[in-house]
Structures are given as C-alpha cells and as structure tokens.
Amino acid sequence: MSASVILSPLVSLFYQYWYIVAFALVIQFARIPTIKGFLGEVFLNIVITIRLRRKKYHLIKNVTLPTEDGTTQIDHIIVSEFGIFVIETKNMRGWIFGNEKQKIWTQKIYKHTSKFQNPLHQNYKHTKTLESILSIDSENIFSVVVFVGDSTFKTDMPRNVTSPNGLIRFIRSKTKKVLSPAEVQIVISMIESGRLSKTFKTHKEHVEHVQNLIQVKENLCPKCQSKLVLRVAKQGANIGNTFYGCSSYPKCNYAISFL
C-alpha cells in the first residue's frame, strides 16, 4: 500500500477539522508564560484606552528603566493631574491567597498549588525607581497590581490589588489634583527620555538580569550554577567588605555587588 493512500484520509480529515487543530495550537501557545503575560498586558491596554479619557490620563507602556543593579521593567504607567499610577499586571487564574506583608503569595488551581513573589513588593521597586528619576513626592505615585484572567482573591486584598474594572475605579477615586498640566507634560517627557530603547536586546538583558537575581536569591551562581559563598575582600579598595562569590573560584570569578 502506497504512502499516498494511507495519508489521503488524514489530509482529508485535517482539511475538514483544521479549525479545531488551529484552536488547540492557539490555546497551547497562549499558555507560554511570556505570551500569557503579553496577552494580559494587551487586554489591560484595551480596558485603559476605552475606560479612561486620553486627554486626562496618559498611558505609557512597557517602560524599562536603568537602576543601580541593572534594570527594572514597568508594565504600565498612567500620568495624570491626579498622580502617577504604576501598574503591575498579573495574568493568572485560580484562587489567589496573600496579604500586603507576605513575601510569597499562593495560587491554587484545583489540587495544584504554586507560589509566586508578592507583586506589591515587586512593584515597590518600580515606584521607587520612578520616584528617584522624577524627584517627585512619593505621595503622588500610586502602586497598583491588576490581576487579569479567571482568578479569584480568597483573602482580603488592599484596594490597590484589584481587577481591570477595579483599576479604573481606583484611578477615578483619586480626585485631588497634585500636578499641573505643565508638570504632567514634564513627567511624561522625563519618563520617555529616561527609558531604555524598546528593543529585543533591552528586553533580553532585562530578563537575564531578573533570572540572575532569582538564582542569587537561591544561593546559586548565575554563570555556572555552583553555590555562592560569603567572602571577605582581602585587598583593594573594598578590603574588609563582604560579598558573595562563586565557590568554583578561580575557575569561575562571578561575584555579586559588595554588601
């Protein structure tokens, strides 16, 4: 029996049900963490654009800013006369457990449980970086964490941890004008001029920086995965200071900033 005879019914079935195959591929593709996060940001962009007046609220997306130890990436910044809103987006489903002070929150989907960093702590660095760059009063910068997707909070959350609709309500609840129209334009200009260029290289370097920080927290060398050990500098300008160095030294000379 020839191969064409065997494959013919399969090809016919594919043409008949191609849309099912395409749908399945889209679902699997959307589950990739990077794509999932991107889709969440796109959805929130649409909500913000539709629900908030552009002349009143100025949206700046995917801002990568330089910091002392690398870079930090902010999903959305909204600049208005009522303050600056720094938004961290989480595209998650299932039950979410956590509170403002806990370092680690929990996601539960049926019997599966996973842990993730408190997004309020994650967004704190974003707000502080902006505060430093803009030299602006911290009371005029608002941190907001927005969960998109089919998720439900199973513990009481602060007002600035919310859904897309809750984000709009939170922003509109700020009615005291703290920036003049001229100051709003200055802030937008400073953010745009201070951000790193939106290139694949910038994003890749930021991702590598975050991965390095995670490995350091786990006490692993980002270069070779060996253990990091606490050392004391015996010479040079930093003599007597402590730092983390790779246990494989001198084969690997990785060292994290002096403490």
**Looking at the predicted structure, is the pLDDT value of residue 177 above 50?**
yes
DSSP-derived letter for residue 48 is H
Q: Which domains, and CATH codes, for the chain?
A: 31-202 (3.40.1350), 219-246 (no CATH)
The per-residue pLDDT for 22 is 47
Q: Grade residue 226 by pLDDT with cuts at 50, 70 and 90.
A: confident
Q: When comparing pLDDT for 42 and 49, which is higher?
A: 49
> How far apart are the C-alpha atoms of 87 and 41, rounded to whole Å?
10
**Looking at the predicted structure, is the pLDDT value of residue 108 above 90?**
yes
Q: Grade residue 8 by pLDDT with cuts at 50, 70 and 90.
A: low
The per-residue pLDDT for 58 is 95
- pLDDT tens-place string over residues 114-173: 998 899 998 998 999 888 888 888 999 999 999 988 889 999 999 999 999 999 999 999
DSSP-derived letter for residue 12 is H
Query: What percent of the chain has pLDDT above 90?
Result: 34
Q: Strand, coil or helix: what is 174?
A: coil
What is this structure's pTM?
A: 0.64
The per-residue pLDDT for 73 is 85
Least confident range of 73-77, 172-176, 243-247: 243-247
DSSP annotation string for 181-215: HHHHHHHHHHHHHHSPP--HHHHHHHHHHHHHHHH
- pLDDT tens-place string over residues 52-102: 998 899 999 888 887 776 778 898 999 999 999 999 999 888 999 999 999
**Looking at the predicted structure, is the pLDDT value of residue 251 above 90?**
no
The per-residue pLDDT for 235 is 67
Highest mean pLDDT among 152-166, 214-228, 245-259: 152-166
The per-residue pLDDT for 192 is 83
Locate 118 and state its tokens. 């408190």
DSSP annotation string for 132-155: HHHT--GGGEEEEEEEESSEEE-S
Among residues 93, 229, 72, 86, which one has the least CA distance to residue 152?
93
Containing 180, the helix (H) or strand (E) segment is none
